[in-house]
Structures are given as C-alpha cells and as structure tokens.
Structure 1
C-alpha cells in the first residue's frame, strides 16, 4: 500500500541521459540540414544576410567550336518504351507505341482526354513518335484522294518537270508541294471527307492546342528511291549549322514545340518499301538541331534506327525534333506514297501585320548610303533585321524551292544584304523583292531568277 502510494505521488519521470542525447543529436542534425539547405539555395540566414554577387556562367547559345556529346545522345536513345507507360496503346513495336483508332470512342470525353495525355507525353518526354492504325478506316477516302493526287502530279510534271526537295536527291520521288490547297481545288468532295476526319483534331490538339494550321505535301517514292539522311524538321531543322547556333538554347527547345510532324500512308508500306526510319527518344537531345549532319551522329543513326511497317490508312506522328529519315524503296515495282502532314502552332505570329516592301522602298537609298560609308556594320545589319523579313517561310515551294545544297529559299533580309553588296539601285532592289513576293504568294509565278531542280 505504502509502495503504491509512494509511486503515485512521485514526480513525473525525467528522460534518461541516452534519450536526451539522441533528441539533442536529432535536433542538431535537423538544424544542420536546414542550414545546409539555406546555404545551398542562397537564402539569407536568420542571423546574417549573405550578400553575394551572381555571375552568368552559361552561354545562351551553343558553340560551333564544341562538339555535341555523342555518348549523351546514345544514353538518351537507348531507353526502352514500357507498355505500362502507355496503357491505352495496343502494343509497342520497335520502341514505338501503336494505337488502334478503331478501339476508341471519340464521343467519350474522358477516354479521349486520357489518350491525348499519353500522346502529349510521348512526344515531349517519351519516344517522340507513335503510330495510329486505322487512322482512316474507310479506304475509299484514300483511294479518291490518290486519284486527285495522280492528276495533280501528271499535270505539274508536264508543266515544269520534277520538284525540288529538302533532303532527297535524284529523280525517284514525285512531290506535290502545298497538297493541302491543291487537293481542295482538284477534288473538293474527297478533300472534305479527308479533313473531316476527327482524328486530325484529336492529335493536333493534344500537342499544339487549339488554333493550329495544317499544311501537307505528297511524297511518292518509286522503286530504287534512296533513303534520306537523318534530319530534324521545321523550323530550326531547315537551317544550316552556322545559322542554328545563332539561336538561343531555349529557342531550340521551343522549335520542337511549335510544329507537329506526321504522315498518312496512302499505300501499304512494307519494310522493303522504306517507311520512315526513326530514332526514338532522339527528340530529347538538346543539341540535336546542330548534330544531325555530323558524321558520327549519322553513323549512329544508320546503325540504330527503327522502322515500322504501315498499312494504307495508318498514320504516324512525331516531334519535329526526332531524328528521322525516309527509307529506301528496295522493291522492284511498288510505289510508296504518303501524305506528309505538318501542323503549325497558332503562336509564333506577330501581333500586327507589317508590309516590309513600302518601308524598304522608302529607306533603301539611305541604307545604301550608310552601307557605302560603313559596309555591313552593326548599324546596317541591325536596320536590315528590323525592317525586312528574316525568315523565308511560309512561301510557295513550287515557285521558290529550296536552293541546291540548301534547305530554304532566300529571305527578304538575305536579298537586301545581297543587293547592298552587289550595288543595286533602289529600282532593282524593289523589283527583286516584288518578284520574290509574287513568287511566294499562293498563286505565285516562277520568276526569272527562280531555279527549279530535280529531287
């Protein structure tokens, strides 16, 4: 009884030395962790403000004097696409997710929203390419469109011969520039059926959001048509290495987000016919726009690319930053036909419409005087960049195809610089720019200085 009473009246027990030590150590560790975090994040401490000057140590642009890292590129492109990452896909072939359009109900907003999430993730963080089986379930739409394309090709070939191409030399290919417009004018009925396909909206919205603009180019590769070299696409993909490094690194990332590339198979595409060669995950490589021409990257692509056979009506979509190339048609008597799809973001346009030609007309004599006094000085170059268009697209590629050895026609800025160097007067300059403007319009005519060359 006494013991029990004594125990009841005892003061609360105090922690032992070991408990106190452990608690103190834990508190000290926590304080140390917080202090380290504050120091790491450069956040002023509670007792003393740390004043520290910060310096910019990273260049905003890539340098031509340094080599892109092939080992880094190899690591990125050796990733494996796991089926569980894309549960809505019907399977994965050659690291490329495959979706069957026939298995989806596009009126089910919940499921299509999840599908768009997968497609978006694929192009930004995943393999960068996917295939949609049965993109066109009705082959009669493709057949009618093919007949329209054949009539266009025949008419244009009789009028002006073969068309210039960005990457494919030789005369094996048949090409329709601006097939989007020509298709409508040739056969409005099949055009309406073709672009009423709701899968276009689902795919384009998933990557670019609303307000996008579709353009298309038909490419038919005959037996013996050689493979392209690997490349990236529009915008930075169409510029030289020297031009590419002038753009900040952030623009390299942005370029891949402004355009969606794709192709609809207008014939079956067995592997021997040369369907598009792809290098999954290559779109995640930051220096890719200045790498694809380098011999070591070309060699790696040739040894590691994949291709997936397609059926008529299937479609493939991919990031413009993905390393890719059309394959070689090794068949004896089979034409591989695709409608190439290039979709542009609503962004990337100026807020106001500027007509540069009247401005150049008004200021050219003053600019020429400044050039004669100072040459192509910083001031002269700054004015050229401000007053003239520095980008040759959009244009009419029938009238202004990519120049031989290049991937784009001249821009207004390039013509303006050339005219100053060659000593043109104002009348000559405005004549050249006016002819370029006419040739660049949708209904343009081939001018006297335009060269059309074989693919």
Structure 2
C-alpha cells in the first residue's frame, strides 16, 4: 500500500475537524433547544390572550397526535410490563438502593409519559385493607341511616356508596386500623416522586354496586371541578399548573376484573394544554369512548395518575360483585386539598399507637415516617409570624409534623403534645 502524502493527511485531518465542529455545534443547539428558544422569543414579543376562549374549539387533531403515542418499555426499564400503554410496576422489587430511580421513572410517566401507572402489590398484607373495609361498612351504614345515599363526581347519585373524607372518618372509627394502613411507606415514595415533601393526603371511598354506570370522561381537581365558563377565567399558565398540584390514585380494596369497571384512562391526554376546556366537548368525549383503555387490578394493587389525564370510572356489568376502592387524592404543599382534614383529633387518636410503633421498631422507621407525613400538616404557612416567628436557624415556624416527631422522641404524653398543637393552631390564626 502506497504511503499517504502529507497533503492527503492534512485534508483528512481538516475534514475530521470540520465534522467534529459541526457535531459540536449540533450538540450545543440540541442542549440549548434553539427552536424552543426562538419560539419563546417570538412569544415574548407578541401579546396574546392570557385565557382560553369558550368560543374557540380545541383541536381534536392535535389531541389525537398526542394520545396516539406508544409507551416504550425501553423508557421504563424498572417496569415489569407495559400493557395498553400503561407501565406496570411490582412493588416487591423496590429496593432502598433504587428508590430514586423508581421515583424518576414514576415522575416521568406522570409528566412526560402516559400519565398513569399501576403498582402491583402496593399492599402485600391484606389485613390493613380488610380492617379498613370493616370500618367503611360501619361508616356507610351509619351515614345511610342518618342522611341517605350520597352523590358521586361525574356519575349518577344513588347507585354507588361513597364516603367523603374517609381519611378522617377511618381514623376516628378505628385508629389502630388507620395507623396500620397509612404507615405503608409506598405512599411516601409515590407522593414525593410527583409532589415533593410536605404533601397532604385526603381520601374518599367509592363502592360501585352491580349495575353501577360509568362516569363521564373528565379531568380532576382543581380545574376539573370547575365549569367550562369558570375554567375560561383562569390564565393558561394555571391550566398547566393545576395538574402539578395534585396526585390522583386509588387502592383496590377488592379484586377489580374488567367486568366490574375499573377506571378507564386515555394515556398521554394529560399533555394536551387545552384539556380542561376540551374534556366536556362531545367530540372529545366520543373519542375517549372509542380509545380509552382499562386494566384489571387485584386486591392490594394501586393505580396513580395525573389529575389532567382524561379518565372515568367504568360500568360494573357484573350481577353480584361490588367494586371497592379507596380513592387517594394528594395535594402539594402549594395547593389546597379538596376536603378539610382536622389533623388534631387524628393525631390525638393515634398518638399512643405511634409511640408504641416507634418504640417497637427501635426508632423512626419508614413506616412511622410515612404515617406522620400522611396525618400531620407539613407546611408551616399560612401563619401569624408575630406569634409564631421562624424556628431558630430556619426560614419557617415549626410544623405539626416537626412537633409530632419531637414529641415522640422526647417521650411527651398525649396531653402535652395536644396542648402544644392546639396552641400552635390558635397562634397561627388571625
């Protein structure tokens, strides 16, 4: 082989350098996301309507483009399976070393992916569910006798049995069962993946009897519970923001075969920016009915999803089977819960049990930490800073969670911790 000339080597070197330069430039453009930057620059120089108009029809074609994506298994390697575009995770495979990786995947599913995931074996021990179900039965019977049947969101009243604020009522009915149930550390893992710390849990029980009809396709709290005219009053940014203030979920308290009507989902629909204006429109509802997917669940499984996802509870077509779920709604520290939870009687009811749990475990366990985060308020505001100045070395006054942890660690009696919490509440007012 003839040796290459210096000129040839020089040209080859120059070509390689040019390719490297182009590749580097493309990398920079990709990193800076130049098209998006240019688009933002155009937007910054043109004033447009800050709100969506009820008179303008959202694009169904654009909506279809979003929701007709495919969920790839390669995107979610920790998922045990992908079915009907929904990632399925087996909670028995979660390890402490991979918790952050799990949370990263769950976050991606909700924000950039299909918007819904199933957690199999969320409860591997069914005793917390069985004792909760027994408490629910008593509550439903008492409330039915006192007040009659209750209405349901986006469905006909009278068919289903529903417990509003089952979170508080469960605790006050059977504190031991409540403590056991919400000590599940998976609540903390999932909630913090999407909402960060200081979240707030509320829950409602829904039991759909045989013949119970399907809900109408909808989005959820906050804007999902507003009328179309009210939604049109909120700026476009809040249509996006509201989806990140709440996490929706449900724990299966019975098996849920497809014939019983487990929740119907339209994966990727949470990505549609005009969704809160669109879901009520007939053409979007018709498309939902054509394209929705649903997965069967087993008792102890859970499903979590973005509140902006188009969804609806299904119809129970069985003859003799009631589908029961504890509907979980978690609010970020910066949002407001759908129901008012008075945490003080819940803490009072469970305090001795919590102390015993911590003592039995030889200190704070993941279970006890999950329970404190579920029951006590973790956000210090709003408050009266004259009466409750920021804690030494911090930016905020002590929260209920911090007081409760301190009380357990220092061995306070129940009366002591309740006196401190009541004083804190009084000092925070007005």
Q: Same fold (TM over 0.5)?
A: yes
* Matched-pair contact (CA < 8 Å) for 2:151–2:157: no
The within-5 A match list for 1:45-194 is 55-105=45-95, 108=96, 110-194=97-181
> TM-score, length-normalised on structure 2?
0.69
Any idea what the Cα deviations from partners look like across 1:116-161, whole Å, max 9, x if unmatched? 0000000000000000000000011111110000000000000000
CA contact (8 A) 2:213 2:316 kept: yes
* Residue of structure 1 in register with 2:223 after alignment: 236
Other-structure match for 1:274: 261
In the TM superposition, residue 60 of structure 1 has moved relative to its aligned partner by 1.5
After superposition, the C-alpha distances for 1:338-360 in whole angstroms (9 at most, x for unaligned) are 000000000136xxxxxxxxxxx
| Counterpart secondary structure, 1:183 | helix
Partner of 1:319: 306
Structure 1 residue 329, shift from structure 2 partner: 0.1
Q: Secondary structure at the match of 2:161?
A: strand
| In 1, Cα distance between equivalents of 2:332 and 2:157 | 32
Q: Deviations over 1:359-389 (max 9, x none)?
A: xxxxxxxxxxxxxxxxxxxxxxxxxxxxxxx
Q: Secondary structure at the match of 2:259?
A: helix
User: If you compute each CA radius of gyration, which structure gives the higher value, 1 or 2?
Assistant: 1
Kindly tell me the number of residue pairs found equivalent between the two proteins: 316
Q: Distance in 1 between matches of 2:326 and 2:61?
A: 35
Task: Determine the C-alpha separation between the residues in 2 that align with 1:226 and 1:65.
Answer: 31
**Contact 2:150/2:157 (8 A) holds in 1:** no
Could you say which residue in structure 1 is the equivalent of 2:378?
none
Kept after mapping to 1: 8 A contact 2:149/2:157 = no
Question: TM-score, normalised to structure 1's length?
Answer: 0.66
Map residues 184-263 of structure 1 onto 2, 5 A cutoff. Answer: 184-263=171-250
> What is the alpha-carbon root mean square deviation over aligned residues?
2.8
Q: Deviations 1:75-124 (Å, cap 9, x if unpaired)?
A: 1000111111100000011110000011222xx2x301000000000000
Which ranges of structure 2 fall in alignment gaps of 5 or more residues?
Answer: 1-6, 342-430
SS in 2 for 1:261: strand
Equivalence for 2:362: none
Residues 151 and 158, structure 2, Cα contact 8 Å, conserved in 1? no
Counterpart residue number, 2:396 = none
Deviations 1:400-420 (A, max 9, x none): xxxxxxxxxxxxxxxxxxxxx
Higher helix share: 2
1:267-318 per-residue CA deviation (whole Å, 9 max, x = no partner) reads 0000000000000000000000011110000000000000000000000000
Q: Structure 1 residue runs of 4+, over 4 Å off?
A: 392-396
Give the whole-Å Cα distance in 1 for the aligned partners of 2:213 and 2:254. 18
Please report how far the alpha carbon of residue 393 of structure 1 lies from its aligned counterpart in structure 2 after TM superposition: 5.2
Equivalent residue, structure 1, for 2:320: 333
CA drift at 1:325: 0.2
Give the Å deviation of 1:168: 1.0
Between stretches 170-179 and 204-213, larger displacement belongs to: 170-179
- CA offsets, 1:154-189, max 9 Å, x none? 000000001122211142100000000000001111
> Residue deviations 1:421-452, cap 9 Å, x none?
xxxxxxxxxxxxxxxxxxxxxxxxxxxxxxxx
Q: Name the CA distance, whole Å, in 2 between partners of 1:182 and 1:143.
A: 16
- Is 1:290 aligned to 2:245, yes or no? no
Aligned counterpart in structure 1 of residue 290 of structure 2, from 303, 307, 315: 303
* SS across alignment from 2:162: strand
3-state DSSP of counterpart to 2:244: coil
Change (3 A) 1:142 1:395: closer
Distance 1:171 1:348 in 2: 31
Q: Report the Cα distance in structure 2 between the residues aligned to 1:395 and 1:112, rounded to whole angstroms.
A: 31
